[in-house]
Amino acid sequence: MSTDPRLSSEPQRPSASQSGGTQSRLSANDLRQCLRIAIGASIGFLISKLMGWNYGVFFTVFPMFLLGMVPVINMHVVRQFLANACLNIVEVSLVVGLTQHMPVVMTGLVFMLFLWRFSLMASGPLFLFGANGVLTLSIMLHFASYPDLDLFDLLASNTLASVLAVLIAFLMHGLLPDRYPRQPPQPVVKSRELRRHQTLIGAITATLSFVVFQSLDLRDSLSAQMATILILFALGYHGARASARKRAIGTLLGCNLALVLQMVLFTQSDHLLLVMVSYFGGLLLFAREHILEGGGSGVGFGGMTTLGILFGQYLGPNQDLVLDALYRFSSMCVALLATLVVMAVLHRLLDRWPAVSSHG
């Protein structure tokens, strides 16, 4: 995933003498980032449940996104994350409020919003702002279009979850700072043609995903909807193909782990402390895999977000988690396959024009 050097950085590995003569697969910085992700996401989950807030998925996934995709925290990161949350209020309110009765116009506006976000992602410096915007806009515009939904509650939950995620990130970095400085990677130089290619293929695919989920009334397919957006972070068909495979594996592992934890908890699944312990353990396993993969949207991140979505609904004895997990995995696989087919077609079509070719 191409990101701004100020946002993402690879750790500068210590020498053998610095690490006591031996090196494990996880460096000191890696281990601390694993703990930051697991503890931070657990805190978001705990606060949302204690306060009884709706849209628990926002409070579980946002800390994962901020602590997992961005290994450092600074004001450049904070400005992007919070600016997106504030802008979401305006965008969703205007698009849904003014064009909900005009599907064609609404779809056109959604495409323009996605086009702007993907252009920022393809350029690099504002990748976090664009990526977070694409993900949240896709979810919020879909749910906000339902007449029975409380739009204020949705927007307030998204904003509150964003602020809470930033506070949790600062807390985690304060309690578990890196042991040694991280070295920024070299920025990726892209041609204008490649940036246009990545922008168009991402915006068109995200818009088609929005249209399909709207048309088929897929209100309970949040995992599938998120999956179709997250693989677009690879900014291209070939990267998305590899990301989709990892995402499917991560979702399968996340569903299976959630089922195992539900069976272990059994009748005690309404006991918040026990749920917290099991949730933290699962997050720690997937966070480790996420770091070993290099911090992108792969198996580890897919497992974390799946676990966050399932636990965000709060495991309880009256919920059929088995059916829910099976539905999420099957719907996600169908959504990923359809997304890859669309991206493959778009990739070939766009490569026919030199101005938007990926080989430019």
Summarised one tens digit per residue, pLDDT across range 104-153 is 999 999 999 999 999 999 887 888 898 889 988 988 888 887 777 788 88
**pLDDT at 321 > cutoff 50:** yes
Closest CA to 275 of 45, 73, 90: 45
Distances (CA, A) of 316 to 81, 282, 325, 328: 32, 17, 14, 18
Lowest pLDDT segment from 65-69, 123-127, 268-272, 276-280? 268-272
What pLDDT was estimated at residue 55? 82
Q: What is the total residue count of the chain?
A: 360
Mean pLDDT highest for which of 8-12, 126-130, 293-297? 126-130
Cβ neighbours of residue 180 closer than 8 Å, sequence gap 6 or more = 11, 12, 14, 18, 28, 29
CA distance 126 to 77: 9
Cβ–Cβ < 8 Å for 338, 71: no
Instruction: Look up residue 89 and give its amino acid.
Output: I
**pLDDT at 40 > cutoff 90:** yes
Closest CA to 359 of 196, 116, 122, 199: 196
What pLDDT was estimated at residue 326? 75
**pLDDT at 354 > cutoff 80:** yes
Cβ neighbours of residue 54 closer than 8 Å, sequence gap 6 or more = 153, 157
CA distance 113 to 121: 13
pLDDT band (50, 70, 90) for residue 319: low
> Two tokens at 17?
């003498």
Q: Can you list the alpha helix ranges (DSSP code H) found in the chain? A: 28-51, 56-69, 75-99, 103-123, 127-144, 151-175, 192-215, 222-230, 237-265, 272-292, 299-312, 321-350
What pLDDT was estimated at residue 21? 38
CA distance 317 to 216: 30
Cβ–Cβ < 8 Å for 158, 61: no
**pLDDT at 155 > cutoff 50:** yes
pLDDT band (50, 70, 90) for residue 22: very low
CA distance 222 to 227: 8
CA distance 275 to 291: 24
Rounded percentage of the chain residues whose pLDDT exceeds 90: 27
> Two tokens at 221?
């397919």
Cβ–Cβ < 8 Å for 263, 313: no
Cβ atoms within 10 A of the Cβ of 326, count? 13
**pLDDT at 4 > cutoff 70:** no
pTM metric for this prediction: 0.84
What pLDDT was estimated at residue 9? 42
> Two tokens at 12?
């500068």
CA distance 47 to 18: 38
| Mean pLDDT rounded to a whole number for the chain | 82
pLDDT band (50, 70, 90) for residue 2: very low
> Two tokens at 357?
């070719």
Mean pLDDT for the stretch of residues 4-10: 41
**pLDDT at 171 > cutoff 90:** yes
> Two tokens at 55?
């849209």
Q: What angle do CA 264, 265, 268 make, to 5 degrees?
A: 155
**pLDDT at 7 > cutoff 50:** no
pLDDT band (50, 70, 90) for residue 20: very low
What pLDDT was estimated at residue 116? 94
> Two tokens at 337?
């396959």
